[in-house]
Amino acid sequence: MDEFYKAHKSLLIGCLLAALFVYGYPLTNFALHIDEENGAVFGTVFNNISIGRWGTSLIHSTILRGPVLPFFMPAISLAFLVAAAIGTAKIIGNGGFSEKFLALLYIAFPQFAYQLEFLNQTESVALGLLAATVAFGCIVRTAGNANQGNFRYYIISVVLVVFAISTYQSLVLIVPALCALSALSLVLEDAPNRRIVREIGISLAVTIVSLIIYHFITKFLQFALHVPASDYLDAVVGWHHGSWSHAFQNGTGSLWKDVSGGDYFGESIYATVFIPGIMILVQYWKRKPSLSRKALAFGLVLFGIASPFAMVLLLGMQEPPRTFVASAVIFSGFWTLGFRSIGWRKSWAWVIVACCLLYGSFHVTRLFFADTMAYRSDLLLGNRIVSAIYDREPAFDETKTPVYFCGVYAVPNFWRKNHYDVFGGSFFSWDVDDSIRISSFLTVNGIANVKLATDADKDRVQSKLPFLPAWPNPNAISDIDGVLVVKLGPTCGNP
């Protein structure tokens, strides 16, 4: 360990400083994010098992129990991210300055912000990312050495990929993305076709076997623990909704939108991977390789650029930005291979690193600052509503009177812009009639711990809801047949 630290001291320190610069704001400024409130009140273990993320449940039921913690969760998540970046650099970077360049670009790419938004799973996803990266390192070792003693590395790589998928399903794309980079690097080094095919074949086999094992473990755990499978994943599969042609059009359209950097805030820099992609092909084709090798290089470049967004094709619809976990892998890897193909210009490379770090820090800070402002606004709104409840109904007892929050109150947020995903969203307007979310928000912030209305309570007051004004009118709060109704928006209740 001491020898590794001495040999990679500058790489490690540089990556840690880069992570602090890019993610310094969310590390030191806490704001409660969407979905963290219910996890804090009800726990996440069984919910994660229901959606197939039993690896996260394992961590949260053993090592990291209890609600999410500010600073601690982001800190260990960033530590795993740095480790994954260094691991990728050791596999693809080819030593020296190349490793530093790749690792710094990896950290600078702002996609991980969309995982850091969910502190109830971010450390598990980051650990899964590291596990998948180490798994591919094992694959490279076995592909480069045909000795029979390498069988244990097959087993290790499968175990690690299964664990990675169990923390977040989209991490299944890490091995294919790394494989595309590694195979492309081998092509540039004029490695024999047998070596390249062997690495691709092992990567494909490990991915398929890991998916099969993960599937059976998931089904077994859900059966053994009597946890029904959630319909959450079914809702994000476009092939189940509408015609197949429509799903295919959605998938291909979304894929182009993603590779061109037009989907989420901070993604536009991804479109620059076409520059090193062209550099790689032009420089390689100048060497006049065989037609088959030209086709292989071209195919690897196309596959590599598209690989982080394979989910939109596999699922047939646009997916949230947090699913594109392999974006940083491809972005940093392509720029590294691009410079390697033309010969390193360190002054240009350092300029690119500096620009990417500034870009990443700017976009990450903008996203999380929008959340900070939304959180402050929701705290004020929550206190106003509870105060208005007691003003309107002085005899209200939060432990006895059921409360029904209905409708959506459009909370303005100047700092929330287009393509921010959940960043800057309000707990009072994220869902229609979501009393559980609002109640949990009030509970974890120490504002109130109200008793929620049952479905029977809600049905009993439906006919009276159209006659109530909407918040902030004080008459939006009314005791109807023993149910305290808070009408947040003009449209609420069952249709």
Query: Residue for token digits 């037609």?
Result: 291
Residues 171 and 306 in one domain: yes
334 and 428, same domain (yes or no): no
Is residue 28 included in any domain, yes or no? yes
Tokens matching residue 273: 């991977």
Shared domain check, 154 and 29? yes
Contacts of 379 (CB under 8 A, 6+ apart): 445, 447
Side by side, the strands of the sheet bearing 477-480 are 451-452, 402-406, 483-487, 477-480
Do 417 and 316 lie in a common domain?
no
Same domain, 310 and 434: no
Rg of the chain in Å (alpha carbons): 25
**Same domain for 321 and 468:** no
Give me the pLDDT at residue 150, please: 77
Among 206, 189, 213, which Cα is nearest to 138's? 206
Would you say residue 350 lies in a domain? Answer: no
Domain ranges, residue 126: 2-344
What's the number of domains the chain is made of? 2
Q: Which two tokens stand for residue 384?
A: 């106003």
Q: Examine residue 367 and state whether it is found in any structural domain, yes or no.
A: no
Same domain for 163 and 262, yes or no, is yes
Kindly state whether residue 376 falls inside one of the protein's structural domains: no
Tell me the whole-structure pTM to 2 decimals.
Answer: 0.92
Does residue 361 lie in a domain region?
Answer: no
pLDDT attached to residue 495:
42
Residue given tokens 């890490």 in the structure block? 174
Residue 493 lies in a domain: no
Instruction: Determine, yes or no, domain membership for 354.
Output: no
Residues 162 and 55 in one domain: yes
Among 296, 317, 344, the domain boundary falls at 344
Kindly state whether residues 336 and 438 are assigned to the same domain.
no
Domain boundary among 344, 366, 391: 344
β-strands 402-406, 483-487 pairing: parallel
Task: Please check whether residues 63 and 121 belong to one and the same domain.
Answer: yes
For residues 329 and 445, state if they share a domain.
no
User: Angle CA(269)–CA(270)–CA(272) in degrees, nearest 5?
Assistant: 75
7, amino acid identity = A
- Spatial distance between the Cα atoms of 357 and 459, rounded to a whole number of angstroms: 53
Domain-embedded: residue 369? no
With vertex at residue 421, the alpha carbon angle to CA 416 and CA 423, rounded to the nearest 5 degrees, is 50
Is residue 327 within 8 Å of residue 308, measured between CB atoms? yes
- Alpha-carbon gap, residue 87 to 175, rounded angstroms: 13
pLDDT tens, N- to C-terminus, the chain (495 residues): 666 666 678 899 999 999 999 999 999 998 888 888 877 777 788 888 999 999 999 998 888 887 777 889 999 999 999 999 999 999 998 878 899 999 999 999 999 999 998 888 889 999 999 999 999 999 998 887 766 557 888 999 999 999 999 999 999 999 999 999 999 999 999 999 999 999 999 999 999 999 999 999 999 999 999 999 887 666 666 555 666 666 667 767 777 888 888 888 999 999 999 999 999 999 999 998 899 999 999 999 999 999 999 888 877 777 889 999 999 999 999 999 999 988 878 889 999 999 999 999 999 999 999 999 999 999 999 999 999 999 988 888 888 899 999 888 888 889 998 889 889 999 888 877 788 889 999 999 999 998 998 889 888 888 888 888 988 898 999 998 889 999 998 877 554
Name the domain boundary from 298, 322, 344. 344
Q: How many CB atoms lie within 10 A of CB 153?
A: 20
CA pair distance 258, 255, nearest whole angstrom: 5
pLDDT for 241 equals: 61
Q: What is the model's pLDDT at position 4?
A: 67
- Residues 303 and 391 placed together within one structural domain of the fold: no
C-beta of residue 297 within 8 angstroms of C-beta of residue 281? yes
